[in-house]
Amino acid sequence: MHGVVIIGKPIYVCENHEKAFYYWCKAKKNMCIGDAFFLVTLDAHLDLMGWGLQSDFRKEINRLGLGDLDRMKELATRPRAGRQDIITYRQSLAAMEAGLVGDVLLISPQIPFFEIYEDLSKRKHRIFHCVHPSRLRDLLTKNKALRKSIGYDGRADSNLILDIDLDFFTHLDKHEIPHVITEEELREIFSGDSILWWIYEKAKSITISLEPFWCGGMDNSERILKLLKTYFQECETASKNQIPES
C-alpha cells in the first residue's frame, strides 16, 4: 500500500479493495475529523457481503477506535486465502461498524440487496445506489436525502471520501475476460461538468484499489491508474488556470 499526492489532494493506492479500510481510518485520524465520512464508492461489484457467522469479528470491529490503527491495518492487510475474520468484500460495512462512515453512495452496475444497514451501536446507515455516473445528476435531483447527506444542496460541508475500484473501468468479453475501457470512455465518466468530478473535487481523501485479479492482470490495473492520474492532473491544472469571471 502506498499514498500519492496529486495537485495537493491525498490519494491512497492499495492492491486489494479491503485494504482501503485502513486508509479511511488513517484519513479520519490525520484530518482530526469528528464526524463520520460520507463514502462514495465506484466499483464493478458491491462488496457488501453479509457477516454470516462472524458475529465476534463484527463486534471487534464495532469496538475499534482511531487509537487502534495498528489493529485496523493488520485486519485489512491479511492475505485473503485462509482468513476466518475477513474484511474482504465487506469493507464498507466494517467502516460503518467502526463509526468511520455514515451513509454510502454505491456507483455500481450491481444492485444492493438492502437500503439501510444498522450497526451494533444501533446507528442506521443509508445506502444510496446508482448504476452509472451518468445517472448521478438525475438521482440527486430526485433524492433530497442524498443531496443533503452528500452536501450537494450547498448548505452542508460533508466529509467525503471517494473510493475507486479500478475494475469499474473494465468490461467483460464473451469469455468473461476483463478489458480496459477506452481513454475516451474514462474521460467521459469524469468529465468536468459531471457530478462525479464534483465529488472528486469535494473529496477530502481518495482511495484507489488496483484489484489486478478483477481487472485482468496488473498491467491492466497500472494502465487504468496511469490514465486516472494523468486525467486528474490535467483537469486540476486546467481548473487552477481558469480566469475568474469579472
172 strand-pairing partners: 178
Residue 207 located in a structural domain: no
Residue 217 located in a structural domain: no
Query: What pLDDT, in 10s, does the model give residues 87-102?
Result: 888 999 999 999 999 9
Residue 6 located in a structural domain: no
Task: Give CA–CA dist 226/221, Å, rounded.
Answer: 9
Amino acid at 225: L
Q: Which residue has the cell 491508474?
A: 225
Burial of 245 (0-12, 13-18, 19+ CB in 10 A): exposed
> Would you give the DSSP letter of residue 162?
E
Asked if the model's pLDDT at residue 214 lies above 90, the reply is yes
Task: Give CA–CA dist 125/162, Å, rounded.
Answer: 17
38 strand-pairing partners: 160
Cβ count near 75 (within 10 Å): 23
Residue 17 located in a structural domain: yes
Return mean pLDDT, the chain. Answer: 86
- Count: domains in the chain: 1
Residue 92 located in a structural domain: yes
Task: Give CA–CA dist 60/26, Å, rounded.
Answer: 18
Residue 205 located in a structural domain: no
Please report which confidence band the pLDDT of residue 2 belongs to, taking 50, 70 and 90 as the band edges: low
Asked if the model's pLDDT at residue 40 lies above 90, the reply is yes
Length, in residues, of the chain: 246
Domain residues for the domain of 143 are 13-200+231-239
Burial of 178 (0-12, 13-18, 19+ CB in 10 A): buried
230 or 42, which is more confident: 42
Amino acid at 48: L
75 or 97, which is more confident: 97
Contact 136, 178 (CB under 8 A): no
